[in-house]
């Protein structure tokens, strides 16, 4: 079974889920292993593919796809903490890894292996899902494809309702409990979603967002009002990282934190936000900011 994910956190969670399953089968233990045997690491690496391309942001035209991806990833990774690799290197590594995975995947598909796609109702996941359907149609493979979409909500412990947003919010030991929800995707459905990707490519906008459960091309400023609104709720200066956390958890925007940071930098330039204090020796968005609407 080939497993497909579209964010690093989802891919990491799924790899840990496989490690836990392997640990249970080999030693009857129910806790995550502290060490994973090298042979099993290779198995997981060969079967869990993570295409973390942040496809909701930036141009996506077919003829310049990878060069545009590398440029936008480099921009998003530009303002990283000093202890991490440079944005240029991270963007380059991501594109090279994607190309390597695509080559490996095409070889595996020729052997008629089954595919399972893990995705959620977030812009990056839906974009990745549409793009992957486009690849399957382009490569003209007819392998069995299972779709496993994270449910919007579910019951736990009687009347307790858990609202889901991202696969990264799911504990590794819970991943495979969702397998009963998977469905086989008929070729016509893959073709339909591939066409959705082609439509987005023709529009070739700078941002895509979920509106009324539909993935649409939107202006680059689409999330700005929500960023300012979230800052304004505090009625006092607040650390940028805390606001980004609120946007990701409470507002469930489903967009990468690096993009939100980039938009905050834009709002600072436009003087819609004001920086009160910047902590030079701390992570890159550990700054005290205030919404200009309160001044």
Size (the chain), residues:
295
* In CATH, 224-294 is 1.10.10.10: yes
Q: Which two tokens stand for residue 255?
A: 């967009």
Convert the pLDDT of each residue in 51-68 to its tens digit. 999 999 999 999 899 999
**pLDDT reported for residue 184:** 96
Please report the pLDDT score of residue 29 as a whole number: 54
Domain extent listing, the chain: 2-203, 224-294
For residues 68 and 62, the answer to whether their CB atoms sit within 8 Å is: no
* pLDDT 10s digits, 213-246: 899 999 999 999 999 999 888 888 888 888 898 8
Query: Is a pLDDT exceeding 80 seen at residue 4?
Result: yes
pLDDT tier at 290, thresholds 50, 70, 90: confident
Which pLDDT belongs to residue 121? 92
Q: Give 210 or 166, the one with higher predicted confidence.
A: 210
- Closest Cα partner for 3 from 18, 22, 24? 18
Six-digit token string for 120: 């959620």
Distance of CA 251 to the CA centre of its chain: 16
CB atoms within 10 A of CB 43: 15
Question: What pLDDT score was predicted for residue 38?
Answer: 55
How many Å apart are CA 251 and CA 217, to the nearest integer? 20
What percentage of residues in the chain have a pLDDT greater than 90? Answer: 47
What does the pLDDT read at residue 166? 83
For position 248, what pLDDT does the model report? 86
The DSSP bridge pattern shows strands 115-119 and 287-291 to be unpaired
Is the model's pLDDT at 45 over the cut of 90?
no
CB contact at 8 A, 263 and 287: no
- Structure token digits, residue 195: 């066409």
From the list 84, 121, 119, 74, the residue with the least C-alpha distance to 258 is 74
Torsion of CA 95, 101, 106, 110, to 10 degrees: 180
Q: Measure CA 147 to chain center.
A: 17
What is the phi/psi pair of residue 108, to 5°? -70, -35
Lowest mean pLDDT among 43-57, 91-105, 205-219: 43-57
Q: Which helix (H) or strand (E) holds 15?
A: helix 8-27
Render 216-253 in DSSP notation, one character per residue.
EE--TTTTHHHHHHHHHHTSS-EEHHHHHHHHHHTS--
**Over 60: is that where the pLDDT of 42 sits?**
no
pLDDT above 70 as % of the chain: 84
Tokens 């889901």 sit on residue? 164
**What's the average model confidence in pLDDT over 115-129?**
95
Write the pLDDT tens digit of every residue in 145-202: 999 999 877 766 667 766 777 888 888 888 988 999 999 999 999 999 999 999 999 9
Report d(CA 295, CA 286) in Å as an integer. 21
Q: Name the residue among 26, 61, 64, 94 with its Cα closest to residue 202.
A: 61
């Amino acid at each position: 079974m080939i497993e497909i994910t579209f964010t690093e956190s989802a891919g990491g969670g799924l790899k840990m889920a496989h490690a836990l399953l392997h640990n249970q089968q080999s030693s009857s233990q129910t806790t995550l292993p502290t060490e994973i045997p090298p042979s099993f690491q290779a198995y997981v690496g060969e079967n869990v593919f993570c295409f973390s391309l942040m496809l909701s942001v930036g141009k996506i035209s077919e003829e310049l796809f990878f060069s545009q991806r590398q440029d936008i990833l480099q921009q998003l990774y530009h303002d990283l903490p000093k202890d991490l690799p440079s944005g240029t290197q991270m963007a380059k590594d991501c594109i090279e890894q994607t190309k390597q995975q695509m080559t490996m995947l095409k070889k595996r598909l020729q052997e008629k292996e089954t595919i399972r796609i893990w995705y959620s109702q977030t812009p990056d996941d839906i974009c990745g899902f549409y793009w992957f359907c486009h690849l399957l149609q382009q490569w003209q493979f007819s392998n069995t494809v299972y779709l496993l979409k994270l449910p919007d909500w579910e019951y736990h412990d009687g009347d307790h309702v858990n609202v889901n947003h991202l696969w990264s919010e799911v504990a590794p030991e819970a991943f495979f409990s969702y397998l009963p929800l998977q469905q086989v995707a008929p070729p016509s459905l893959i073709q339909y979603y591939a066409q959705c990707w082609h439509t987005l490519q023709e529009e070739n906008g700078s941002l895509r967002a979920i509106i009324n459960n539909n993935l649409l091309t939107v202006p680059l400023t689409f999330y700005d009002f929500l960023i300012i609104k979230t800052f304004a709720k505090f009625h006092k200066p607040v650390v940028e990282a805390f606001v980004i956390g609120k946007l990701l958890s409470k507002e469930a925007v489903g967009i990468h934190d690096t993009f939100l940071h980039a938009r905050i930098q834009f709002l600072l330039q436009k003087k819609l936000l004001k920086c009160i204090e910047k902590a030079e020796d701390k992570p890159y968005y550990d700054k005290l900011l205030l919404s200009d609407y309160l001044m």
